[in-house]
Amino acid sequence: MLIQRASLLGNKVVDIRLGEQIEQVAESLRPLPGELVLDAGFGTVLPGLHDHHLHVYSAAAELNSVRVGPQDVRDSDGLAQALTRAVPGADGWIRAVGYHDTVAGPLDRDLLDALAPPNPIRVQHRSGVMWTLNSAGLAAVGLADHPDGRLRSADRAWSDVLERTEPPLDAFSAGLAAYGVTGVTDATPDLDITVRIRQRVHVLAPGKRILHDDALDLDALITWISDRHTEGIPVALHCVTAAQLVVAIAALRVAGRHPGDRIEHAAMVPADCIADLAGLGVTVVTQPNFVAERGDQYRTDVPATEQDQLWRLASLRYAGVPVALSTDAPFGDSDPWAAMRAAVHRRSPTGQVLNAAECVDARTALTLFLGSATQPARPRTVAPGQPADLCVLSAPPREALGQLDAGLVVATVIGGAMVFTR
């Protein structure tokens, strides 16, 4: 395949010949007999985007789920209507996602029984760590006597009982391809199935661990990290609170580091933790899209004196902390371009700017999606020998950086093969 008149981010215009890898990059290349030619028309050609933290099966399953977050339903009546209108899946369950207590208060089995139809129902909290089941659902998983129906997502004792239905992986993968995404890192803990989509897939398990404030055991975490490192496995520690981050830093200091160690999310980073992260050299994979998606709720829920800790980016980079970006789909929107815009502008849904000091420029936001699976903070380049995974935009670099819009993606190439054209 030959891409002609391609503008690279530095504004140089080149032709690019592709096999499974990038074979040639030159000012002018003649097509070979029978070679597929794509005229980029001076549009920008980038390494394909890599989403460094999402959950493929959950994100695909969301396509067949009813959304019940604050942006979707406003109160208990809206929740009841959404669940009543929902079409049960082939397994008879109604699956709902994105719930937050601002909709109808803390959710439990009794409230679901009162509001919803008698089908088995499971509702996921938007944090992803908790599901609430109604009485029919609890009976279906053998927990009819459970007191409140609130079950941890990571507890496979109940989730393994569910009938496995294949989510629409192809549709989700096609959506990623339309965003120019050529690779993803699946951050699902204990993932024990092969993820088959058109994108290249890197899996964090068995090195992924979710920390919980009510079960922060420093000694146990040190042992777990040391064991993973002995096996040659880097660790990825899920930290969304300041307490979780402090314990993670302490554990990494004692256990020592592996070059691939990561902190996932770092939603709250106290100022005195920034130098600690830089000293450890651990990569932070974070999601500024949550500022755009949930910023108004943060302004209500997080004390004003702590809001500067939320979803840091510029201050981490300034201190020398390796950083990469992701969407955390399905808990965040899967559009990486929206995440880039959030990194640049940090505007909440109502337009309030949250932590202006953490804004980065558009080129930085874009390059934080260009790392590889194993080196997320090191941007790939369009150069011979690199994988032939590319994203082609309709606009030249200056315009593309000004818009950061998925609508600019006109072609996506993985391994030298076209997987999306607009």
DSSP string, 249-312: HHHHHHH---TT-EEEE--B--HHHHHHHHHHTPEEEE-THHHHHHHHHHHHHS-GGGGGGBT-
Distance CA 122, CA 331 (A): 16
Note the pLDDT tens digit of each residue in 242-294: 999 999 999 999 999 899 999 999 999 999 999 999 999 999 999 999 999 99
- Residues, the chain: 422
Cβ burial 184-211 (10 Å sphere, 16+ → b, else e): bbbbbbebeeebebbbbbbbbeebbbbb
Distance CA 54, CA 60 (A): 11
pLDDT at 112 (0 to 100): 97
Whether 64-159 shares its CATH topology with 207-375 is answered no
Query: What's the DSSP call for residue 8?
Result: P
DSSP helix/strand/coil, 171: helix
Q: Write down the pTM of the prediction.
A: 0.93
Distance CA 253, CA 82 (A): 47
DSSP helix/strand/coil, 209: strand
Question: How is domain 64-159 classified at the architecture level of CATH?
Answer: Roll (3.10)
- In 3D, which of 121, 9, 352, 30 has the Cα closest to residue 17? 30
Q: Distances from the Cα of 75 to the Cαs of 30, 65, 129, 149, 325, in angstroms? A: 62, 19, 22, 20, 33
pLDDT at 154 (0 to 100): 83
**Residue type at position 235:** V
pLDDT at 294 (0 to 100): 95
What tokens were used for 308? 């500067």
**How wide is the angle at C-alpha 350 spanned by C-alphas 274 and 130, nearest 5°?**
60
Query: Which sequence spans correspond to the domains of the chain?
Result: 64-159, 207-375
Stretches in the chain below the pLDDT threshold 70: none
Domain covering 207-375, topology: TIM Barrel (3.20.20)
Distance CA 368, CA 404 (A): 13
pLDDT at 163 (0 to 100): 84
Cβ burial 89-122 (10 Å sphere, 16+ → b, else e): beeebbbbbbbbeebbeebbbebbeebbbebbbb
Distance CA 183, CA 97 (A): 25
